[in-house]
Amino acid sequence: MIPEMSSMSSDPAAASRTAAFTGHRTYCGQADALLGRLLEQLYGRGFRTFLSGMAVGFDLAAAEAVAALRVRYPDVRLVAVVPFRGQECRFRSADRTRWERIVAEADAVEFLAEGYHPGCYAVRNRHLVARASLVVAWYDGSPGGTQYTVREALRGGRELINLHPDVQLSVRPVDPRLF
């Protein structure tokens, strides 16, 4: 049984220091060193809360990187945003073990639905974007949930940093007050 922990504050100031992750399930560690350096930089910019959607691939790798960052900076918070209870049951054994370890280490776990339903991943992705001011992606340009989340982040004026070397999407939103 996975204990449900308190959800994040809805404080707008907290959201301004919150980063979320989105990326492909096919991620195999290609940017782990870069991700670690980026997390150090984000910490230096005041980011303390990091949201993982807990999917296999980049989401789990990013959550593990945040856990490693927390060893050096105990004020870092990892929030596991789980699209539905039982998500881990769909994973291979090794990925399920990683997922369970990360959930146990997380500072908060948010279950967005009691069970799987069509669209639950899109709900999770919108939730991640809504709760963060910055989105870190591993996006290779292919269609799917990562593309959807990247587009939502850009539409929502979030800062976006894509770590994939083949697709340059590092964008800071334009301040609408300038126009």
CATH code for the domain in which residue 28 is found: 3.40.50.450
Domain that holds residue 108: 13-172
* Residues 161, 130: Cα–Cα separation, whole Å: 16
Q: What is the pLDDT of residues 119-150, one digit of tens each?
A: 999 999 999 999 999 999 999 999 999 999 99
**1 lies in some domain:** no
pLDDT of residue 8: 40
**6 lies in some domain:** no
pLDDT of residue 14: 62
* Residues 104, 45: Cα–Cα separation, whole Å: 27
Query: Coil, strand or helix: which one is 21?
Result: strand
**7 lies in some domain:** no
CA distances in angstroms from 46 to 58, 76, 89, 112, listed in the order given: 23, 10, 35, 27
**179 lies in some domain:** no
Q: What is the pLDDT of residues 3-55, one digit of tens each?
A: 333 334 445 556 679 999 999 999 999 999 999 999 999 999 999 999 999 99
Q: What is the pLDDT of residues 52-68, one digit of tens each?
A: 999 999 999 999 999 99
**100 lies in some domain:** yes
**177 lies in some domain:** no
pTM of the model: 0.86
* Residues 28, 16: Cα–Cα separation, whole Å: 29
**3 lies in some domain:** no
pLDDT of residue 167: 85
- HSE-up of residue 165 (Cα within 13 Å, Cβ side): 5
Rounded (5°) CA angle 72-34-46: 50
Q: How many domains does the chain have?
A: 1
Amino acid making up residue 134? L
- Inter-residue contact 171 to 160 (CB < 8 Å): yes
pLDDT band at 168 (very low <50, low <70, confident <90, very high): confident
**54 lies in some domain:** yes
